[in-house]
Amino acid sequence: MNINHSFYQLTPDSILSAMESLGYETTGRFYPLNSVENRVYDIETSNAGRIVAKFYRPGKWTYDEILEEHRFLLELSLEEIPVLTPITLEGKTLFEWSGIYFAIWPLRNGRIVEEISGGDLERVGALLGRVHALGKKLGSIHRPTLDIPSYGLKSLNFILEKGLIPNKTLEDRYRVTALRSFEIFESLVKEYQIPFQRIHGDCHKGNLLVSSEGYSLLDFDDFLVGPIVQDFWMLLPLGESDRKKDVFGFLQGYTMFAEFDENWLQLVEPLRIIRYIHYAAWIAKRWEDPSFPSLFPHFGTEEYWLKETLDLESAKKDLEEQSIEVSNQNDIEPEMTNKDFFWDWEN
């Protein structure tokens, strides 16, 4: 049996049979939840209430990669950091049905965050600071690294080798912009010695849940090793000058628990560019999934790639202007003070 086919065609019978194989007594009621990468269901049982089953997309993660995600979540939970952890049954958190890996999760009530403002910024900053502080303590064996060779170039080469961009001139512009952005990313990492560590990897508002108990982080599927600001830029309006107060509030909470250097924020634009490219390759790799053409109807058209290229070029321009501005600031000689004239000056 083709595993991908069985994943695309998961039936009610196969979903409920997988649950019953673990001892759950299903009532027959279940509801698909919003998930593009995986297949996720809210399932009612008579012996354990409502549970959530996540069937992982075949080929996306190895068995060891998924287990490492689960271990990271359990580490966080042991430190009382509010994350959603998989249910352990007979010492296991990962199971298999018809060649598809799946896990069981408790149903967490709450609402997805629309906007983060006021005192919530500091609370969310503190939550992410705690996650990063623990993420820094240990390395990763199996999860990917957000670097240019494995994350940027691999995606770019896939797009170019598959000939996905229909216009040669557009393809050249896309490639040149991407490669220049990759160079800047690597030079910034080297110049500021930016550390890489375990991070969430896909930290946007849709993965932040708020309830009467406060905020919690969901969906560590894309957890990887990378620079911490990858987890900042999708949550915060870092490019909007009139929202600097919001960024300051967030960082007040964050720095109570984790180290932060303002120079690291220079990675935001290149990380944004890398994500654009990675996202386009991600869609292309899943095009055989029947749900993707309907979810992304304009993907692959010349109009789509023109917009992608213009977005990349705009982001690269901002990045280069940022680099020039920082360089100019570094060239400014500090104003002379009394300490420069009197060696024993103490005031």
Task: Please give the Cα distance from 85 to 67 (Å, whole number).
Answer: 12
Choice between 340 and 99, residue whose per-residue pLDDT is larger: 99
Q: Establish whether 34 is an annotated binding residue.
A: no
Task: Please give the Cα distance from 208 to 116 (Å, whole number).
Answer: 10
Task: Please give the Cα distance from 346 to 298 (Å, whole number).
Answer: 66
Find where tokens 């080929």 sit: 59
CA-angle at 239, arms to 226 and 110, nearest 5°: 70
Q: Which amino acid is at 6?
A: S
Task: Please give the Cα distance from 31 to 16 (Å, whole number).
Answer: 12
What is the pLDDT averaged over residues 159-163? Answer: 97
Active site residues: 202, 219
pLDDT at residue 29, rounded to an integer: 95
Find where tokens 């940027």 sit: 152
Give one DSSP letter per residue of 2-37, joined into a string. -HHHHHHT--HHHHHHHHHTTT--EEEEEEEES-SS
Confidence label for 266 from pLDDT (cuts 50, 70 and 90): very high
**Is the Cβ–Cβ distance between 197 and 224 less than 8 Å?**
no
Q: Which of 56, 13, 60, 51 is nearest to 35 (CA)?
A: 56
CA atoms within 13 A on the CB side of 247: 16
Backbone angles phi, psi at 195, to 5 degrees: -75, 150
For the cut 70, the answer to whether the pLDDT of residue 344 exceeds it is: no
**Is the Cβ–Cβ distance between 312 and 279 less than 8 Å?**
no
Max mean pLDDT among 68-72, 312-316, 343-347 falls in 68-72
Q: Establish whether 38 is an annotated binding residue.
A: no
Strand order from edge to edge, sheet including 214-217: 111-112, 208-211, 214-217
Choice between 125 and 6, residue whose per-residue pLDDT is larger: 125
Task: Please give the Cα distance from 102 to 115 (Å, whole number).
Answer: 32
Q: Which residues contact 270 (CB under 8 A, 6 or more apart)?
A: 181, 182, 184, 185, 188, 319
Find where tokens 């000939």 sit: 163
Assigned token pair, 336:
């002379």
Choice between 324 and 139, residue whose per-residue pLDDT is larger: 139
For the cut 50, the answer to whether the pLDDT of residue 292 exceeds it is: yes
For the cut 60, the answer to whether the pLDDT of residue 210 exceeds it is: yes
For the cut 90, the answer to whether the pLDDT of residue 9 exceeds it is: no
Share of the chain above pLDDT 70, in %: 89
What is the pLDDT averaged over residues 269-275? Answer: 93
Q: Which residues contact 96 (CB under 8 A, 6 or more apart)?
A: 102
pLDDT at residue 326, rounded to an integer: 56
Q: Which amino acid is at 69?
A: E
For the cut 70, the answer to whether the pLDDT of residue 327 exceeds it is: no
